[in-house]
Structure 1
């Protein structure tokens, strides 16, 4: 029995790693801020049961990643055979079941955290996630479908507050996502200058939305500007490099920068709406997300 224990532990760790790769587990750190930004813009604090709303976002994001790999399993067998399904570390059936279970968990957490109002937003969000992975991905409507997912995720945090007040924040993150998703299509074979340039323009628009508008005080304005500048600088530099030469490596780097760039964009929006402690927590998650990305790719 003792001789089997190390092997059992290694097997268990291998399974957990495969699952983490399937759902891009560390990338969840780039999702938590969606609902926080929505809540700050809508004037409702994330506390008490509402702390479940960011977890609902994570569950639905992980569901989308599992469904993404299930949908792409045949393509990945050719282009990315190291991924969990084509490598045989996760079966296609298990990936689909994981996507379903995480979707159910996300819907349940949303209802528990935000009541019926949150449930009414989480339902179309879940539907948008499934529609993107199973129908829209790879079509001209794919980037818009992914942008809708992210915008709805922001509005999930606004449930129970002034939802209209969160629309600019939802638009900023949706626009950013639109550009990153369109650009990511060139990760394997290389992209186009037009896609990279459009993504760069989207970054400029999102940064402008994040820092524009009234703030509670000068410190909030300065924090929003600093975080917005950090977002625009890091993401924009990678996208500019891809626009100059859209080789696969540069497109992958720009896509990864775009994924991580969600965090300072969210933090900038949160700071502008007066929640400096929450903005600081979000900004502090970025270095951890980058370190974990070296172990499990976010793309």
Structure 2
């Protein structure tokens, strides 16, 4: 998994602890004493875990379950919240497991990361991955058997990717499968089935496949093919979510039928939801296409990293567009609001970077 620091900023994103004994001695001589040093230590540990778990990236996760619920034609409810909680836990398990699996490689290529820098012990990261996986499966079980039936292969895909598939040709496909399963988890938890959500899962998985393929050259650059393919994928996905109307789920068809309860103009997907889907599809394209284009022209590591960051950020408007495409206007707007919330959190947390794998 690659970190993409903002231009001109330190790779640690402002989360690194004080640099060596000299800074500690300066703090003590200023009258701070042991209490400020302990506070800095606690802050450093919290910052290290925030960096390990890529907390700002969590804002790209709830949209999976919400888009899945929209595709199933059911309004989000308590079981959707359990699915979101399960998704968040499994996502964070993957983040911790990733750095544990890559600790030897990171010691050479990315020594600033929490494990090779010694700020987090490898055993603690592995324990966190196991605990978060268990919590994710427990939350899915609380949402019902259909949800657990999706969460179990999702958890297996996460562990298989980090431990075996990441550096193989199957890596991007495994990452895409994980995102698709995450969307299906929301559909299974909310509506009890996944069939209606399969097209949306395929579209989201295609986007993830393209971004992951680009991320494999983040540190080395040199390949224009992956960002070019991602740019083409973005164009196709934008076309699909803004121009092609899928058959609405049964519940939404009934709500949109003239003369039936709930058939207000706001409830008719071809109108309001169609316009929202078009706007969100345009936002998706604007977020992803430009950095992909730049990386195609100049596949250097910095521009490739920016392309990956743009692809990650584009996940949220794509999720929102998929929800609107299914006729769930309110849900799509809720998902879209996660994008600025994530950017605000990243700024306040001092983590001006994005991560994907």
Return the match for 1:269 from 318, 322, 326. Answer: 322
Return the match for 1:164 from 195, 198, 206. Answer: 195
Query: How far apart are the structure 1 equivalents of 2:60 and 2:119?
Result: 26
Could you tell me whether the CA contact under 8 Å between 2:65 and 2:80 is conserved in 1?
Answer: no
Could you tell me whether the CA contact under 8 Å between 1:260 and 1:286 is conserved in 2?
Answer: yes
Q: Does 2:253 match 1:197?
A: no
CA offset digits 1:76-107 (Å, max 9, x no partner): 11211111111111111111111111111111
Q: Does 2:76 match 1:76?
A: no
CA offset digits 1:265-293 (Å, max 9, x no partner): 00011112222222112212212323444
Alpha-carbon RMSD: 1.6
Please report how far the alpha carbon of residue 162 of structure 1 lies from its aligned counterpart in structure 2 after TM superposition.
Answer: 4.5
Please report how far the alpha carbon of residue 199 of structure 1 lies from its aligned counterpart in structure 2 after TM superposition.
Answer: 1.2
User: 1:41-80 to 2 correspondence within 5 Å?
Assistant: 41-80=71-110
User: 1:1-299 to 2 correspondence within 5 Å?
Assistant: 4-112=34-142, 114-159=143-188, 160-211=191-242, 212-214=244-246, 216-294=269-347, 295-296=350-351, 297-299=353-355
Equivalences, count: 297
SS in 2 for 1:45: coil
- Stretch moving more, 40-49 or 96-105: 40-49
Higher alpha-carbon Rg: 2
Query: How far apart are the structure 2 equivalents of 1:289 and 1:134?
Result: 28
Could you tell me whether the CA contact under 8 Å between 1:168 and 1:209 is conserved in 2?
Answer: no
Please report how far the alpha carbon of residue 75 of structure 1 lies from its aligned counterpart in structure 2 after TM superposition.
Answer: 1.2
Could you tell me which runs of 5 or more consecutive residues in structure 1 were left unpaired when the two chains were aligned.
none
Query: How far apart are the structure 2 equivalents of 1:77 and 1:162?
Result: 44
- What is the TM-score normalised by the length of structure 1? 0.95
CA offset digits 1:180-223 (Å, max 9, x no partner): 00100111111411111111122223223323214623111010
CA offset digits 1:236-268 (Å, max 9, x no partner): 111111111110001100101111111000001
- What is the TM-score normalised by the length of structure 2? 0.80
Query: How far apart are the structure 2 equivalents of 1:188 and 1:17?
Result: 24
Q: Which runs of 4+ in 1 moved over 6 A?
A: none
Higher share in helix: 1
